[in-house]
Protein backbone atom coordinates (compact mmCIF):
# COMPACT_ATOMS: atom_id res chain seq x y z
CA UNK A 1 0.00 0.00 0.00
CA UNK A 2 2.73 2.46 0.99
CA UNK A 3 4.62 1.60 -2.21
CA UNK A 4 1.58 2.58 -4.27
CA UNK A 5 1.22 5.90 -2.46
CA UNK A 6 4.91 6.62 -2.95
CA UNK A 7 4.64 5.74 -6.63
CA UNK A 8 1.60 8.01 -7.04
CA UNK A 9 3.38 10.92 -5.34
CA UNK A 10 6.46 10.37 -7.50
CA UNK A 11 4.40 10.27 -10.70
CA UNK A 12 2.12 13.18 -9.78
CA UNK A 13 4.14 15.65 -7.66
CA UNK A 14 1.94 18.67 -8.46
CA UNK A 15 -1.25 16.86 -7.57
CA UNK A 16 0.24 15.46 -4.36
CA UNK A 17 1.68 18.87 -3.45
CA UNK A 18 -1.64 20.57 -4.08
CA UNK A 19 -3.37 18.03 -1.87
CA UNK A 20 -0.86 18.62 0.95
CA UNK A 21 -1.29 22.39 0.70
CA UNK A 22 -5.10 22.13 0.72
CA UNK A 23 -4.99 19.79 3.69
CA UNK A 24 -2.76 22.21 5.62
CA UNK A 25 -5.05 25.15 4.76
CA UNK A 26 -8.09 23.17 5.91
CA UNK A 27 -6.41 22.34 9.21
CA UNK A 28 -5.41 25.97 9.70
CA UNK A 29 -8.93 27.15 8.89
CA UNK A 30 -10.50 24.72 11.36
CA UNK A 31 -8.07 25.80 14.08
CA UNK A 32 -8.77 29.49 13.52
CA UNK A 33 -12.49 28.92 13.25
CA UNK A 34 -13.20 27.71 16.74
CA UNK A 35 -9.98 27.21 18.60
CA UNK A 36 -7.89 24.14 19.14
CA UNK A 37 -9.53 20.78 19.66
CA UNK A 38 -8.73 19.16 23.00
CA UNK A 39 -9.26 15.62 24.17
CA UNK A 40 -11.09 14.91 27.42
CA UNK A 41 -7.75 14.34 29.17
CA UNK A 42 -6.41 17.66 27.87
CA UNK A 43 -9.58 19.37 29.10
CA UNK A 44 -9.06 17.93 32.58
CA UNK A 45 -5.50 19.32 32.53
CA UNK A 46 -6.73 22.74 31.32
CA UNK A 47 -9.22 22.91 34.18
CA UNK A 48 -6.86 21.62 36.86
CA UNK A 49 -3.68 23.45 35.87
CA UNK A 50 -4.94 26.61 34.15
CA UNK A 51 -8.34 27.18 35.77
CA UNK A 52 -10.14 26.91 32.42
CA UNK A 53 -13.82 27.70 32.23
CA UNK A 54 -15.91 24.89 30.78
CA UNK A 55 -18.65 26.49 28.68
CA UNK A 56 -21.41 23.98 27.96
CA UNK A 57 -23.47 25.17 24.99
CA UNK A 58 -26.13 22.45 25.05
CA UNK A 59 -29.75 23.19 25.87
CA UNK A 60 -30.68 23.37 29.58
CA UNK A 61 -32.45 19.99 29.54
CA UNK A 62 -29.35 18.18 28.22
CA UNK A 63 -27.16 20.16 30.63
CA UNK A 64 -29.37 19.13 33.56
CA UNK A 65 -29.16 15.47 32.53
CA UNK A 66 -25.40 15.54 33.07
CA UNK A 67 -22.56 18.02 32.67
CA UNK A 68 -18.92 18.52 33.57
CA UNK A 69 -18.31 19.75 37.12
CA UNK A 70 -18.48 23.57 37.45
CA UNK A 71 -19.47 24.03 33.79
CA UNK A 72 -21.32 27.21 32.83
CA UNK A 73 -24.37 26.61 30.63
CA UNK A 74 -25.21 29.07 27.87
CA UNK A 75 -27.07 27.43 24.95
CA UNK A 76 -25.24 27.86 21.64
CA UNK A 77 -28.03 29.99 20.16
CA UNK A 78 -27.76 32.49 23.02
CA UNK A 79 -23.99 32.90 23.30
CA UNK A 80 -23.86 36.01 21.10
CA UNK A 81 -26.53 37.79 23.17
CA UNK A 82 -25.02 36.69 26.51
CA UNK A 83 -21.35 37.23 25.70
CA UNK A 84 -21.13 39.97 28.34
CA UNK A 85 -21.50 37.25 30.99
CA UNK A 86 -18.21 35.81 29.79
CA UNK A 87 -16.18 39.04 29.91
CA UNK A 88 -14.77 38.21 33.35
CA UNK A 89 -13.27 35.02 31.86
CA UNK A 90 -11.59 36.76 28.93
CA UNK A 91 -8.04 36.26 30.25
CA UNK A 92 -8.39 32.59 31.15
CA UNK A 93 -8.78 29.54 28.91
CA UNK A 94 -12.31 28.67 27.84
CA UNK A 95 -13.17 25.15 26.70
CA UNK A 96 -16.42 24.81 24.79
CA UNK A 97 -18.46 21.65 25.17
CA UNK A 98 -21.49 20.62 23.14
CA UNK A 99 -23.29 17.31 22.62
CA UNK A 100 -21.10 15.81 19.92
CA UNK A 101 -18.78 18.54 18.69
CA UNK A 102 -21.02 20.10 16.05
CA UNK A 103 -21.77 23.45 17.74
CA UNK A 104 -18.53 24.09 19.61
CA UNK A 105 -16.65 25.36 16.54
CA UNK A 106 -19.24 28.02 15.73
CA UNK A 107 -19.36 29.22 19.34
CA UNK A 108 -15.56 29.25 19.44
CA UNK A 109 -15.51 31.44 16.33
CA UNK A 110 -17.95 33.88 18.00
CA UNK A 111 -15.78 34.07 21.11
CA UNK A 112 -12.58 34.58 19.13
CA UNK A 113 -14.29 37.32 17.13
CA UNK A 114 -15.23 38.98 20.45
CA UNK A 115 -11.59 39.01 21.55
CA UNK A 116 -11.29 35.79 23.55
CA UNK A 117 -7.88 34.38 22.71
CA UNK A 118 -7.64 31.17 24.73
CA UNK A 119 -10.53 29.21 23.23
CA UNK A 120 -10.62 25.46 22.70
CA UNK A 121 -13.31 22.90 22.04
CA UNK A 122 -13.80 19.40 23.38
CA UNK A 123 -13.34 16.84 20.62
CA UNK A 124 -16.45 14.68 20.43
CA UNK A 125 -18.29 16.78 23.02
CA UNK A 126 -20.13 15.23 25.94
CA UNK A 127 -20.57 12.04 23.93
CA UNK A 128 -16.81 11.45 24.04
CA UNK A 129 -16.61 12.60 27.68
CA UNK A 130 -19.20 9.99 28.68
CA UNK A 131 -17.62 7.32 26.46
CA UNK A 132 -14.46 7.70 28.51
CA UNK A 133 -16.46 7.28 31.74
CA UNK A 134 -15.44 10.67 33.08
CA UNK A 135 -17.53 12.17 35.88
CA UNK A 136 -20.69 14.16 35.26
CA UNK A 137 -22.91 16.13 37.60
CA UNK A 138 -26.69 16.03 37.26
CA UNK A 139 -29.00 18.87 38.04
Catalytic residues: 98
Do residues 90 and 8 touch, judged by C-beta distance below 8 A? no
* Alpha-carbon dihedral 99, 56, 42, 129, rounded to 10 degrees: -40
- 72 DSSP β-pair partners: 55
**Three-state secondary structure string covering 9-59:** HHHCHHHHHHHHHHHHHHHHHHHHHHCEEECHHHHHHHHHHHCCEEEECCC
Do residues 56 and 68 touch, judged by C-beta distance below 8 A? yes
Amino acid sequence: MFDQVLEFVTNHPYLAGSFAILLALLARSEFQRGGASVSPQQLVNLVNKHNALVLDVRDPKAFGAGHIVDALNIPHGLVASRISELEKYKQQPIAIVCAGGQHAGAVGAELRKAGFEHVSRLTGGMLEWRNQNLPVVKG
